[in-house]
Amino acid sequence: MNAPADSVRLIAENRRARHDYFVEETFEAGIVLTGTEVKSLRLGRLNLGDGYASIEHGEVFLRNVHISPYEQGNRFNPDPLRPRKLLLHRREILRLQVRLRERGMTLVPLSFYFRKGRVKVSLALARGKKLYDKRESQAREETARRLRQVLRERERTSPSE
């Protein structure tokens, strides 16, 4: 059974990134992979934990992203932590280079997903949060969660007309 042409299937999401960084801008990038890495991604064997992207010689590379070796891949499995080239337009790379020179800016992967059968990476141009920023965000999320809970409770207990 074929999926719709514009379907998107999420492989993995880096929830930690939104906790540790203020996301200022996002980009979609292609990624250069081997066949066994794609097979491993289809099984969801990916860890974005400490991943980041860097620009070297006008090219963008994704580092510290662990794609587990494909079990049936034997000798064709590459190093799980190898740097992987990201595919972006030259103008996007130049814009990123300028923005990354600002203090505290970094490129972090937000998610990996399949779009039209190709693996894509959602990259965020982000600024690191300080501890007090993290506490403030956490408090705001907790308040919103409690408010939703109270509203849900009121809906259940109020008599319906």
pLDDT band, very low/low/confident/very high, at 22 (cuts 50, 70, 90): confident
**pTM for the whole structure:** 0.74
Please give the Cα distance from 151 to 114 (Å, whole number). Answer: 36
User: Average of pLDDT values for 128-145?
Assistant: 83
| Count: domains in the chain | 2
On whether both 125 and 161 belong to a single domain, the answer is no
How many whole angstroms separate alpha carbon 96 and alpha carbon 19?
A: 22
- Mean pLDDT over 32-38 rounds to 85
Q: How far apart are CA 95 and CA 101, in angstroms?
A: 10
Q: For 62-97, how does the pLDDT look when each residue is reduced to its tens digit (9 = 90+)?
A: 999 888 888 877 777 787 788 989 999 999 999 988
Q: Are residues 157 and 115 in the same domain?
A: no
Please check whether residue 111 lies inside any domain of the structure: yes
Domain housing 98: 9-129
Q: What percent of the chain has pLDDT over 90?
A: 22
The answer to whether residue 4 is domain-embedded is no
Give residues with Cβ within 8 angstroms of 7, minimum separation 6: 115, 116
Residue 16 lies in a domain: yes
pLDDT at 2 over 70: no
